[in-house]
Amino acid sequence: MKFSTLLTPDRFRLWLMVLLVGLLSLGSYWILEVIRSGINTSVNRPVRTNPDYFIENFHFTKMTPTGQSKYRMAGKKLVHFPRDDHYEITLPVIINLDPTQEPMTIQAQRAVINNKVDQPDSEVHLYDQVIVDRPASAKSKHFQLLTDYLLVYPNQDRMQTDRAIELRLDTIVTHGIGMTADNTTQQLHLLSNVSSVVPPHPNKLAR
């Protein structure tokens, strides 16, 4: 008895179906393994809490759209934490360079920035021995603000705090709890428990 080695049309279609089913099975198995591998990798991958880079003695200058310097930020050390993409700065200093405004310097022991400083809504949280200083000029008296926490919006020329503050304007010393300030409009609001000490005028003492 002899068997034909030629494939009939029916046999060809049958083998083609078997081949397609086999390829689909292999593809499904491969996709399942990829999914399992991805799940295992994400589950077993440790969350990185250590910083990924740091910069020592850094300087950053923010420019206006017209190419003028708006402010400069400097610090002894800047550290980036990738887990939540925030920055920590040791001995931060912010200097206002806007020629349309009175020069002002803000410094503290440390700072935390939750997003990039070049974003419009950037927030700089300043902590411990925060000092805001504006020297006396022909247009204004010496201004100094002392507190232990200050939230600064450097791109909006605003700052605020909910902590106790000491405000010195020339020889007048004012204390209060909470403050909002806008350097563009030169407006400052103390929120509560406000008290001031006004020294007597020298001419009155001479009488």
- For residue 65 the two structure tokens come to 């759209």
List C-alpha distances in Å: 112 to 60, 81, 156. 15, 11, 17
Q: Please report, for residues 18, 32, 39, 133, 144, the alpha-carbon distance to residue 156 in angstroms, rounded to integers and kept in the order given.
A: 69, 51, 43, 18, 20
Residue 172 tokens read as: 């007048």
Owning domain of residue 114: 53-197
Structure tokens, 99: 């020629």
Q: Tell me the percentage of the chain whose pLDDT exceeds 70.
A: 71
Which tokens is 102 given?
A: 């009175």
User: What pLDDT, in 10s, does the model give residues 103-146?
Assistant: 899 999 999 998 766 666 789 999 999 999 999 888 888 999 99
**Is residue 75 very low, low, confident or very high in pLDDT (cuts 50, 70, 90)?**
very high
Has residue 124 been placed in a domain?
yes
CATH number, domain with residue 120: 2.60.450.10
DSSP reduced 3-state for 85: coil
| Single residue among 10, 26, 45 that ends a domain in this structure | 45
Residue at 140 is within a domain:
yes
| Three-class DSSP category at 11 | helix
Residues 115 and 181 in one domain: yes
Residues 58 and 141 in one domain: yes
- Token pair for residue 156? 């909006």
User: Does residue 93 share a domain with residue 35?
Assistant: no
Quick check: 193 and 176 in contact, CB under 8 A? yes
Which residues, 6+ apart, have CB-to-CB distance to 108 below 8 Å?
91, 92, 126, 127, 128, 129, 130, 131, 150
pLDDT band, very low/low/confident/very high, at 1 (cuts 50, 70, 90): very low
Number of structural domains the chain divides into: 2
Question: Looking at the structure, do residues 147 and 177 belong to the same domain, yes or no?
Answer: yes
Q: Are residues 26 and 9 in the same domain?
A: yes
Does 84 or 19 have the greater pLDDT score?
84
In degrees rounded to 5, what are phi and psi of residue 28?
A: -65, -40
The verdict on 128 and 157 lying in the same domain is: yes
How far is the C-alpha of 190 from the C-alpha of 1, rounded, in Å?
Answer: 109
- Residues 118, 181 within the same domain: yes
**182 belongs to a structural domain:** yes
Over the chain, what is the mean pLDDT?
Answer: 81
Residue 177 has what DSSP assignment? E
Same domain, 82 and 101: yes
Indicate the residue among 45, 62, 81 that finishes a domain. 45
Looking at the structure, do residues 90 and 23 belong to the same domain, yes or no?
no
Q: What is the CA radius of gyration of the chain?
A: 33
Domain presence at residue 202: no
- Contact assessment for residue 171 and residue 155, using Cβ atoms and an 8 Å cutoff: no
- Domain membership of residue 28 (yes or no) is yes
pTM, rounded to two decimals: 0.72
3-state secondary structure of 8: coil
The answer to whether position 206 is within a domain reads no
Query: Residue 89, exposed/middle/buried by CB under 10 A (0-12, 13-18, 19+)?
Result: buried
| 103 is a domain residue | yes
Which amino acid is it at 153? Y
Give a yes or no: residue 207 inside a domain.
no
